[in-house]
Amino acid sequence: MNKEPGKLIITNNEGKQLECDVLFTFDSDETGKSYIAYTDNTKDENGNIRVYASIYDPNGEDLELKPLTDPKEWKVIESILSSIQEKVDEAIKNSGESSEEE
């Protein structure tokens, strides 16, 4: 599954291998599952970077990514992504303010 740290090789529906960037992983006490969010850095029709999420085995015994089947799982992923985006936006805003003051 991993080619190098922070990277993931997946095979898409057309059988083509794609190198993806791992955004984050986390374990859920509620579901007892481990999740991975990643992107192939392509954009959708609205110009947003596509993000994917799957269930994975953090021990590497099963290398197959499993689809999320519960809408609650997607809500958790979306919440984390939203929080990360807010922090990135704030950091960019703050770095712009500090460079303007110099």
Structure confidence by residue, pLDDT tens digits, 59-100: 988 888 999 988 988 888 888 888 888 988 888 888 876 555
* pLDDT score at 53: 93
Distance CA 9, CA 47 (A): 23
Query: Distance from first CA to last CA of the chain, Å, rounded?
Result: 46
pTM of the model: 0.77
pLDDT surpasses 80 at 101? no
pLDDT at 100: 52
Taking only the tens place, the pLDDT of each residue in 18-31 is 999 999 999 988 88
* Averaged pLDDT of the chain: 86
Please give the pLDDT value at position 22: 93
| Both tokens assigned to 32 | 């007892």
Number of neighbouring beta carbons within 10 Å of residue 68 = 17
Instruction: Report which DSSP code applies to 48.
Output: P
pLDDT above 90 (res 102): no
